[in-house]
């Protein structure tokens, strides 16, 4: 893209809500990549005559939690509407979606980018139902078919619409990553993009640098992964800037992404825009959010990931890299903080180093998640207490931790059973050092003749003789005294 333009990009994020049942019926929500097609279907989500929708309260609560986390204004009364369009993925011929009166409006999400923090304003958050999944196949005889899987029809979706507050692809990436992390923190979405649980639509426009008015925008629909979304936006920015450079005019239109050719394609222009003939859904009374629902949603609201990040940097003195890794997953951040609060003398840097170093190393090797490892935050704190209290040294601590991860035993148990307590007794260590020096007179004289590197060799011998249990500080002190450097 030429530098003469400012891009304005807004996103509509459609996130599936991982509730027990669908938005308007009792059908379970199944893994679409695993379940046999059309097995989680009932008269309601199949649009059978006479069936009626009933709002899933769990989905409302999930939506409410997201809205509150985004600091939105929650509407006391919102309303479902029918969005009419005739397509094979829509069993009723309309989608039930909030339109004129959404669940919540005007929030925001602070997003950390490589160039610093940006604030992305949220225009609205609303509930709707997912459509059926269409799979287009080509039969061996050349005929093409579209297969309909109603397992997806009626899964609750939360649509989060941002203002066009992003100006670069990196900001788009950072925003979607932050939002995904937030949804995972709230436990409402797995973030598993390969399974299509988050999908995007983008609106993109360009204006000359310094021009206060937004340019003509296009909408790009059906962007079903991070990669496709960023690819389509990047393409569109390039296309529009070339067009504008050549004196052309951007048409307001709806575009699709042609994955095979890596280009955006016009789906329909403003003139032929769909008329969805929205009207209030008569089968559902207005959705009333009671003060009780509000306080219930607020009660278990986790600290937002961006706030946690800032706290780790300012209060704990961690660097951005560490804070980022720790806060990326709520379970990791929770583990970290529980470890700290369980320590006799909480040391954030020590805790962070052990989790990001030893623990992450183990998780990579074993393939276990933080929820699956047999060591609790309290147990890790116990290990670190022993380390801080000089009961064991750092090298021993790593051995002990490894055993903890394999057996689930407590650090104190392993240290006691395997006699791994650090030897700190001055007299014992002095005897040990003297024996090492006496046993190796040649090395002593070489050292005294200037081969000072042998200091580490003596240190290693002493540590080896102690079975790794010697207190390194005491050894150094005695070695210094006896070698008289």
- HSE on the CB side for 231, CA within 13 Å? 16
Regarding 117 and contact with other proteins (CB under 8 A), the answer is no
What, of other proteins, Zn ion, none, does residue 426 touch, CB below 5 to 8 Å by kind?
A: none
Min CB(32)–Zn ion separation in Å = 14
| Whole-angstrom distance, CA of residue 111 vs CA of residue 373 | 31
| Whole-angstrom distance, CA of residue 101 vs CA of residue 449 | 87
Regarding 258 and contact with other proteins (CB under 8 A), the answer is no
For the residues of 162-220, what is the DSSP string, one character each?
Answer: E-S-B-SHHHHHHHHHHHHHHHHHTTS----GGGTSEEEEEEEEEEETT--S----EEE
Nearest-CA neighbor of 95 among 24, 146, 148?
A: 24
Nearest-CA neighbor of 255 among 244, 276, 240?
A: 240
Nearer residue to other proteins within complex by CB, 22 or 92: 92
Total site size for Zn ion, rule CB under 5 A: 5
Residue with tokens 């003195």: 317
Strand 218-223 versus strand 253-258 pairing type: parallel
Burial label for 391, CB within 10 Å (0-12, 13-18, 19+), is buried
What, of other proteins, Zn ion, none, does residue 252 touch, CB below 5 to 8 Å by kind?
A: none
Query: Where does this chain touch other proteins (CB under 8 A) — which range of 52-60, 113-121, 198-206, 386-394?
Result: 52-60
Nearer residue to other proteins within complex by CB, 41 or 206: 41
Regarding 23 and contact with Zn ion (CB under 5 A), the answer is no
Q: Which long-range contacts (CB under 8 A, 24 or more apart) does 51-57 make?
A: 52/283, 53/23, 53/24, 53/25, 53/96, 53/281, 53/283, 53/284, 54/24, 54/25, 55/23, 55/24, 55/80, 55/284, 55/287, 56/19, 56/21, 56/22, 56/23, 56/24, 56/156
Residue choice 34, 36, 49, 365 for contact with other proteins (CB under 8 A): 49
Using CA atoms, how far residue 206 sits from 31, 216, 239, 247, 266, in Å, is 39, 7, 10, 13, 18
Regarding 293 and contact with Zn ion (CB under 5 A), the answer is no
Query: Where does this chain touch Zn ion (CB under 5 A) — which range of 40-48, 171-179, 244-252, 417-425?
Result: 40-48
Interface pattern 61-100 for other proteins (x via CB under 8 A): ---------------------x-x-x-x--xxxx------
Query: Where does this chain touch other proteins (CB under 8 A) — which range of 44-52, 65-73, 240-248, 371-379?
Result: 44-52
List the structure tokens of 185.
């923190």
Regarding 321 and contact with other proteins (CB under 8 A), the answer is no
Regarding 42 and contact with Zn ion (CB under 5 A), the answer is yes
Regarding 404 and contact with Zn ion (CB under 5 A), the answer is no
What, of Zn ion, other proteins, none, does residue 45 touch, CB below 5 to 8 Å by kind?
A: Zn ion
- HSE on the CB side for 460, CA within 13 Å? 5
Residue choice 4, 187, 248, 285 for contact with other proteins (CB under 8 A): 285
Nearer residue to other proteins within complex by CB, 92 or 217: 92
Regarding 202 and contact with Zn ion (CB under 5 A), the answer is no
SS3 letters across 34-57? CCCCCCCCCCCCCCCCCCCCCCCH
Min CB(21)–other proteins separation in Å = 13
Query: Where does this chain touch Zn ion (CB under 5 A) — which range of 37-45, 162-170, 411-419, 444-452?
Result: 37-45
Total site size for other proteins, rule CB under 8 A: 28
Min CB(52)–Zn ion separation in Å = 12
Regarding 160 and contact with Zn ion (CB under 5 A), the answer is no
Residue list 352-411, contact with other proteins (CB under 8 A): none
Binding residues for other proteins, rule: CB under 8 A, are 43, 46-55, 82, 84, 86, 88, 91-94, 146, 275, 277-279, 282-285
Binding residues for Zn ion, rule: CB under 5 A, are 25, 27, 42, 44-45
């Amino acid at each position: 893209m030429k530098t003469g333009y400012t891009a304005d990009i807004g996103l509509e994020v459609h996130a599936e809500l991982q509730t027990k049942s669908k938005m308007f019926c009792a059908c379970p929500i199944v893994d679409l990549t695993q379940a046999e097609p059309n097995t989680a279907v009932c008269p309601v989500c199949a649009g059978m005559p006479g069936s009626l929708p009933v709002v899933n309260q769990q989905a409302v609560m999930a939506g409410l939690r997201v809205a509150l986390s985004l600091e939105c204004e929650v509407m006391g009364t919102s309303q479902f509407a029918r969005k009419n369009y005739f397509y094979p993925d829509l069993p009723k011929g309309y989608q039930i979606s909030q339109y004129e009166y959404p669940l919540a409006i005007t929030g925001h999400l602070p997003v950390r980018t490589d160039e610093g923090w940006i604030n992305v304003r949220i225009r609205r958050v609303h509930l709707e139902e997912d459509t059926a999944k269409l799979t287009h196949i080509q039969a061996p005889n050349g005929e093409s078919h579209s297969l309909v899987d109603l397992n997806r029809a009626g899964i609750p979706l939360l649509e989060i619409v941002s203002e066009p507050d992003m100006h670069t692809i990196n900001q788009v990436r950072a925003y979607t990553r932050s939002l995904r992390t937030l949804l995972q923190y709230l436990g409402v979405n797995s973030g598993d993009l390969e399974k299509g649980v988050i999908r995007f639509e983008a609106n993109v426009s360009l204006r000359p640098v310094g021009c206060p008015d937004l340019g003509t925008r296009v909408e790009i629909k059906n962007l079903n992964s991070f990669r496709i979304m960023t690819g389509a936006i990047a393409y569109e920015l390039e296309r529009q800037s070339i067009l504008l450079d050549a004196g052309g005019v951007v048409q307001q239109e709806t575009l699709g992404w042609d994955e095979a050719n890596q280009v955006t394609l016009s789906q329909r222009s403003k003139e032929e825009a769909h008329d969805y003939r929205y009207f209030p859904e008569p089968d559902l009374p207005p959705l009333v959010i009671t003060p009780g629902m509000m306080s219930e949603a607020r009660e278990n609201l986790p600290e937002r990931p961006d706030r946690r990040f800032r706290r780790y940097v300012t209060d704990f003195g961690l660097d951005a890299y560490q804070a980022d890794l720790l806060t990326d997953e709520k379970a990791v951040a929770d583990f970290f903080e529980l470890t700290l609060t369980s320590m006799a003398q909480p040391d954030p840097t020590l805790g962070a180093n052990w989790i990001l170093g030893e623990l992450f190393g183990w998780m990579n090797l074993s393939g276990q998640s933080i929820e699956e490892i047999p060591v609790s935050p309290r147990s890790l704190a116990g290990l670190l207490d022993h380390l801080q209290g000089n009961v064991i040294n750092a090298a021993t601590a790593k051995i002990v931790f490894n055993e903890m991860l394999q057996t689930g035993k407590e650090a104190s148990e392993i240290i006691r059973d395997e006699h791994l307590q650090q030897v700190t007794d001055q007299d014992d260590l002095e005897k040990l050092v003297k024996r090492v020096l006496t046993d190796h007179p040649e090395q002593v004289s070489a050292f005294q003749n200037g081969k000072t590197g042998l200091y580490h060799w003596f240190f290693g011998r002493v540590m080896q003789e102690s079975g790794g249990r010697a207190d390194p500080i005491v050894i150094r002190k005695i070695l210094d005294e006896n070698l008289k450097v």
